[in-house]
Structure 1
Amino acid sequence: MSNEKRTMKRNEIDEKYKWAINDIYATDEKWYEDLEKLKGYTKKIPSYKGKLSQSADLLYEYFRMSDQISLLCDSLINYAQRKSDEDTTVAKYQNMTGQITNVMMYINSAGSFETPEIIAIEQTRLEEMFRQKPELELYRRELELIRSKKDHVLSEAEEKIIALTSEMGESAENIYSMFSDADLKFPDAVDKDGKSHQVTHSTYIPLVQSSDRVLRKSAFESMYSTYDSFKNTCAATLGAQIKTVNFYSKARNYKDSLEASLSDNEIPTQVYHNLISAVHDNLHYMYDYVALRKKLLCVDELHFYDLYTPVVSDFDIQINFEQAKETVLKALEPMGEDYLKIIREGFDNRWIDVYENQGKTSGAYSAGARVHPYVLLNHKDTLNCMFTLIHEMGHAVHSYLSNKNQPVCYSDYSIFVAEVASTCNEALLMRYLLKNAADKKEKAYLINYFLEMFRTTLYRQTMFAEFELKINELVAQGESLTAQTLNEMYLDLNKLYFGDGIVPDRQISLEWARIPHFYYDYYVYQYATGIAAAIALSSRILSQGESAVKDYIGFLSGGCSKDPISLLRGAGVDMATPKPINDALKVFGDLIKEMDELYS
């Protein structure tokens, strides 16, 4: 008989562990009433076409209407999507999600005249409108952001052609997703006792985390030998994606694809280059870590399939949800009572959907609804799940404060800063746990956990970012992305980032083929900048106390009222310089020394 716990049905879970979805709509009928209100805007929006420059009153009315639409969409989307995620087998809520998605598509289409009309307004005329209607000042930044795209907005006919290519533009990502997620199958891995283990995308990491080195190697070879068999298909698909990205950047008159991508979040390209340069300057810490891992695993040679297994064996921390909440509150005490009050409000008023149930969507996330944030967990009694809780509550507080302190038009924050608040919380939790570790083994286990955050998030994601930049540059120069070119480039980067202390396994040259983020258009660098900013901010909070907390709360309350770099500067971190990356990696270096001393 299996010892595994049966996954509960949703109606078997105590209400206190389910999120209070009825805080948005008391009934489904109320949702449908608001959906009809939203549909009404598809007819109202076109009435403004050709009139945005006619009067300050009309322009102000239009933006006020946009805010009302945003509020409706926020409630409609959150209710339908959260209900759908509670149990993905319930077709009704999948259908409701589809309905709101379709209505939003019609609304976006109806308002397609907005950008070209606003760009066409003469600056002198716009300033006159601000004087005529002082209330319009609220939307000055939003108007300036739209107008900043002037050099990259095409004629009406050209924009229509670009719009018609949008579905084709997603083809490479869609093809890759179907190939990698649906069609690709991997041979079973075999452990030291000859037992077979299924290899899938979801089982791969647990397999290479195993203490059984035979199993780790077998899973590694299973994964990459399979991608090797399809390397030319993968190369052609990734090549098509990069060509698409470069096409759109050229069509919209950007210097290159990097500028085109980062401009959407108001991020200077120098931030991207600074990240890569700073990590290169600190690769000696990674080489030290590789040497330490080899030493602690007691292996003659360290291979890439040895990178994920814990160096501290036979240790586990069991933490139930109630204990996790208590620890989170203690770890966040440096943030002050105002911050803790929000966390307690979330804990006490059912912001969180805690446990797994049959049909519930996997993973974890925070959704920043206007009524209050909603946090989805699938909690198990593990250290990792406690980190997930504090991570998602960091997002939740960020959304809560931005929504409370910013008008609708500036309440949403940029993806560039999204991971800062969550990772800052994780860093504070780790500092608390290390300070209160019961013994040497627990401390070593925690340090290993922290070291892996740095390796996988700061170093590895920067390596991904550098690879993505290189392949974009090759395509921009008219080169083809062949499997051989991609393999050689990727292997060389692994040698650079991990050094001579690890065997350059040929299979790792295929890793690029299994990374879906290369289809997300310069997305991964934000994981690395996010952890660097978070480490800097958490260190500042712990060392400077109340003044640093005040600056940090100001950042969390800022939404998108300023560009992301300016918001972070206000919190005391300048991501336009390499300093936060250098400082974060020094912490990594100090942790390596501490770990080494524990085992010396």
Structure 2
Amino acid sequence: MITYKSRADVPTQEKWNLEDLYSDLNKWEQDLSQIEKMAADLKQFDGQIHDGKSLYQFLKLQEELSYKFNHVYAYSMLQVDQDTRETSSQSLLDRAKGLSVKVSSATSFFMPFLLSLDEETLKKYINEENGLKYFEDDLFESFRYKAHVLSKDQEEVLSQLGEALSAPSNTFGMINNADIKFGEVTGEDGEKVELTRGMYSKLMENEDREKRKEAYKAFYKPYLQLKNSIASTLSAAIKNNVTMAKIRKYPSALEKGLFGDNVPKEVYENLIQTTKEHIAPFHHYSKVRKEKLGVDELRQYDLYVPLSGVKQEISYDEAYETMIKALAPLGEDYVETLKQFRDSRYIDVRETPGKRSGAYNLGVYGVHPYILLNHRDDLNSLFTLAHECGHGVHSKLSSQHQPQITARYSIFVAEVASTVNEVLLINYLLKNEKDEEVRKHLLNHFIDQFRGTFFTQVMFAEFEKLTHEKAEEGSPLNVEVFNEIFEGLYREYYGDEMVFDEEVKYGWSRIPHFYRPFYVYKYATGFASAIHLATRILEGDQETLENYLEFLKSGSSDYPLELLKKTGVDLTTPLPIENSLRKFSELVEEYSLL
């Protein structure tokens, strides 16, 4: 694996080109100043919108501000992420965040104003001013919220409570990221060293079972010590959400969480129910894993160790070429777009000191996507590349084919494009691999990805549903209640092959996503949708391919469920979930025979 001691050592071709956003800092400063002025101008519209012309002037200026602000914010964020130690970059990001607060404050009057209008008045304004046709769908979409928006004074009070309402999430963030100190583990030289999150992930893949067990116990130790504090923050977060749902007159917290994407609660319930009805292959996988590992008992610290000793070194150039070949079924235009990503430096490839960890895609309307990687020349990095390029192409095509107002796609559909790429990649690798050990390694990789992105997220989604229902009933939420629900679900999903350590029931205490309620289910629906689509594309279904490419160009031009229906995926029925679970069953069956 290539390692770099400094960002300056990385070849220019493997670093993203931020000059596509701003050629120099002066231009960034100019936009920042201009946005401040535009925000002040927007504030002047408060109480002054009386006809179609003034409404159009406000919306047009707001969109122009949004365009500039997205560029200003993206530039400062990307600067920070390429070296988080750089104080000058942190200063840029702090200024961009401060500007965001000013913009929100300047425009906070508008939604209560809009929803104070009756529908006839809004239609009259649109007929008066031709330019409002561009904003028409968005304006009427806001009307969906009318029953859930309070008076101007009440909204003002709620906005002032924002910081207090986010306190449970912020408190957990401080506990989880700043205060928690993990127990000690035995280092390579036999000395005791303090465990870190990065070490934990690596140790969970260690072939030495005692090392895995030691790391597992050490990792959970502080969560058990702080169990009552964390239970209090999670309980408060759930109760806040339930209270806000009541204040805003939603039937339930779940329906409030689904409202933005216009998803009926039956989709959420169908995901959980269909998964549980077809859980047997997942139980079978626990048995297969236990047999392959050769252990008497399968425990939680046995779930992440690879079942094959194969370690493939795949250079970045080789990974890129492999990805291009694997994604050829998506057509020439798609492949050409991928080549442009590399040639025009949309991607920041290498891990360097101070660089943000992980990977992401950031679409910037009017410029292009920016992709952050920490490429390590291995199989995981190859899959991460294909995954993030899926998001990147989705961003690029939506920006090219949609106006700014509908270019950004919903998180609900985001994981579809990335996972379709991964399914096509695993199919290509398996088709072209003759070595049985490598095939085992690939199958194991995909099965474990299925577990993490699908089954685990469905289990988490059910935990959120059950805990919010408890709060809505007025039942207490504490350590014992969380433990009982979480352990019950874990046993249900993982089956009888698992032997449960005391720590398993405390799994809820370390999940940041629980502070952003009813979000994780989107990973599972996105994953299932992608399996469904990729399978059809690989079967040569030309209509599905054409519909899928149109979907990538659609941004948020329709509600997520409707966009997916146009590709042939109907999540209001069990079919896409059943198809993906059938695929999982086939993978486990094939793997068990190797």
Shorter-normalised TM-score: what interval?
over 0.9
Q: Could you list the per-position Cα deviations for residues 273-319 of structure 1 after superposition, in whole angstroms to 9, with x for gaps in the alignment?
A: 1111111111101111111111111111111111111111x211110
How far apart, CA to CA, are the structure 2 residues paired with 1:123 and 1:180?
47
1:111-126 mapped onto 2 (5 Å cutoff): 111-126=107-122
Give 2:358's aligned residue.
363
User: What letter matches 2:362 in structure 1?
Assistant: A
Distance apart, 1:210 and its partner CA = 1.1
Q: 3-state DSSP class of the match of 2:361?
A: strand
Match of 2:25 in 1: 28
1:310 and 2:306 equivalent?
Answer: yes
Match for 1:19 among 16, 20, 31?
16
Matched, 1:94 2:90: yes
* SS of alignment partner, residue 135 of structure 1: helix
Per-residue CA deviations over 1:509-541 (Å, capped at 9, x if unaligned) read 111111111111221111111111111111121
* One-letter identity of the residue aligned with 1:347: R
Q: Distance in 1 between matches of 2:349 and 2:478?
A: 46
The one-letter code matched in structure 2 to 1:331 is A
Q: 1:14 to 1:7 in 2, by over 3 A?
A: closer
User: For residues 420-499 of structure 1, what are the structure 2 equivalents within 5 Å?
Assistant: 420-499=416-495
Distance 2:260 2:570 in 1: 19
Paired residue for 2:326? 331
Contact persistence 1:261–1:522 (CA under 8 A): yes
- The equivalent of 2:226 in structure 1 is 230
- Structure 2: distance between partners of 1:171 and 1:435: 51
CA distance in 2, matches of 1:190, 1:289: 31
Preserved CA contact (<8 Å) 2:2 2:376: no
Question: How far is the alpha carbon of 1:50 from its aligned partner?
Answer: 2.4
Aligned equivalent of 1:529: 525
1:162 partnered with 2:158: yes
**C-alpha separation in 2, matches of 1:545 and 1:20:** 38
Q: Distance in 2 between matches of 1:200 and 1:243?
A: 32
Q: Which of 46, 49, 63 in structure 2 is aligned with 1:49?
A: 46
Partner Cα separation in structure 1 for residue 161 and residue 578 of structure 2? 42
Q: CA deviation at 1:544?
A: 3.4
Shift in Å, 1:6: 5.8
332, 350, 361: which one aligns with 2:345 = 350
TM-fit CA distance, 1:431: 0.7
Aligned partner of residue 311 in structure 1, secondary structure: coil
Q: Deviations over 1:472-493 (max 9, x none)?
A: 1111111121211111111111
Using the alignment, how far apart are the partners of 1:317 and 1:478 within structure 2?
A: 53
Q: Partners of 1:366 and 1:5 in 2: how far apart?
A: 23
Distance in 2, matches of 1:192 and 1:94, equals: 36
Shift of 1:321: 0.4
CA distance in 1, matches of 2:14, 2:424: 25
Offset, 1:104 = 2.0
What do the CA deviations read for 1:97-144 (whole angstroms, capped 9, x no partner)? 111221221111111121122112221222233333343222122111
Separation in structure 1 between the aligned mates of residue 550 and residue 131 of structure 2, nearest angstrom: 24
Q: Find the counterpart in structure 2 of residue 398 from structure 1.
A: 394
SS at 2:374 equivalent: coil
Q: Could you report, residue by residue, the CA deviation over 1:237-273 in whole angstroms, capped at 9, with x for unpaired residues?
A: 1111111111211111111111111112222222111
CA contact (8 A) 2:3 2:351 kept: no
State whether residues 192 and 215 of structure 1, in contact with CA within 8 Å, keep that contact through their aligned partners in structure 2: no
Q: Secondary structure at the match of 1:48?
A: coil
**1:288 paired residue among 284, 288, 292:** 284
Is 1:317–1:382's contact at 8 Å kept on the other side of the alignment?
yes
Question: 1-side partners of 2:197 and 2:117: how far apart?
Answer: 51
- The offset of 1:225, in angstroms, is 3.3
Offset, 1:593: 0.7
After the TM superposition, which of the residue ranges 383-392 and 519-528 deviates more from structure 2? 519-528
> In terms of mean alpha carbon deviation, does 237-246 or 185-194 score higher?
185-194
Aligned residue number for residue 264 of structure 1: 260
The 1-side partners of 2:177 and 2:371 are apart by 26
Distance 1:5 1:347 in 2: 18
TM-score where L is the length of structure 1? 0.96
Asked if the contact 1:321/1:379 (under 8 Å) is kept, the reply is: yes
Query: Partners of 1:196 and 1:293 in 2: how far apart?
Result: 30
Tell me how far 1:586 sits from its aligned partner. Answer: 0.6
State whether residues 191 and 214 of structure 1, in contact with CA within 8 Å, keep that contact through their aligned partners in structure 2.
no
Give, in angstroms, the shift of residue 194 of structure 1.
Answer: 5.7
Residue 578 of structure 1: CA displacement?
1.9
Q: Which moved more, 1:535-544 or 1:489-498?
A: 535-544
- Give the letter aligned to residue 428 of structure 1: L
Distance between the aligned counterparts of 1:92 and 1:180, measured in 2?
Answer: 27
> Are residues 391 and 33 of structure 1, via their aligned partners in 2, closer, same or farther at CA, if it must alter by over 3 Å?
same
Asked whether the 8 Å contact 1:8–1:356 carries over to 2, the reply is: no
Q: Is the 8 Å Cα contact of residues 536 and 580 (structure 1) preserved in structure 2?
A: yes
Which secondary structure state, in structure 1, belongs to the residue aligned with residue 44 of structure 2? Answer: helix
Matches of 1:186 and 1:584 in 2, distance apart?
A: 37
Q: Which residue identity lines up with residue 361 of structure 2 in the other structure?
A: S
Matched, 1:80 2:64: no
Corresponding residue for residue 322 of structure 1 = 317
Map of 1:578-593 to 2, 5 A cutoff?
A: 578-593=574-589
SS at match of 2:350: coil
Unaligned runs of 5+ in 2: none
Question: Is the Cα contact below 8 Å between 1:87 and 1:361 reproduced in 2?
Answer: yes
Counterpart for residue 8 of structure 1 = 5
Give the drift of 1:57. Answer: 2.1
Does the C-alpha gap of structure 1 residues 160 and 584 become closer, same or farther in structure 2, counting only changes over 3 Å?
Answer: same
Note the C-alpha offset of 1:588: 0.4
Call closer, same or farther: CA 1:449–1:99 in 2, change over 3 Å: same
**Could you say what secondary structure the match of 1:376 adopts?**
strand
Q: Does 1:500 align with 2:496?
A: yes
The answer (yes or no) to whether the contact 1:9–1:358 under 8 Å persists in 2 is yes
Equivalence map 1:141-156=2 (5 Å): 141-156=137-152
Determine if contact 2:83/2:356 at 8 Å carries over to the other structure: yes
Mean Cα deviation higher: 316-325 or 301-310: 301-310
**Aligned runs of 1:139-288 on 2, under 5 Å?**
139-190=135-186, 196=192, 198-288=194-284
What CA distance in whole angstroms lies between the structure 1 residues aligned with 2:560 and 2:234?
30
Structure 1 distance, partners of 2:28, 2:103, is 18
TM-fit CA distance, 1:358? 2.2
Q: May I ask how many residue pairs the two structures share in their alignment?
A: 593
Q: State the match for 2:539 in structure 1.
A: 543
* Paired AA for residue 198 in structure 2: S
AA partner of residue 343 (structure 2) = D
Amino acid at match of 1:452: D
With over 3 angstroms needed to count, the CA separation of the structure-2 counterparts of 1:88 and 1:186, relative to structure 1, is closer
Deviation of 1:546 (Å):
3.3
Shift of 1:157: 1.8
Amino acid at match of 1:274: N
TM score, norm. by length of structure 2 = 0.97
The answer to whether the Cα contact below 8 Å between 1:70 and 1:408 also exists between their aligned partners in 2 is no
Quick check: 351-360 or 226-235, which moved more?
226-235
Q: Whole-Å Cα distance in 2 between the matches of residues 176 and 57 of structure 1?
A: 47
Residue number in structure 2 paired with 1:519: 515
Indicate if the aligned counterparts of 1:224 and 1:508 stay in contact, CA closer than 8 A.
Answer: no
The Cα shift of 1:196 comes to 4.2
Give the distance between the partners of 1:137 and 1:6, measured in 2 at CA.
53
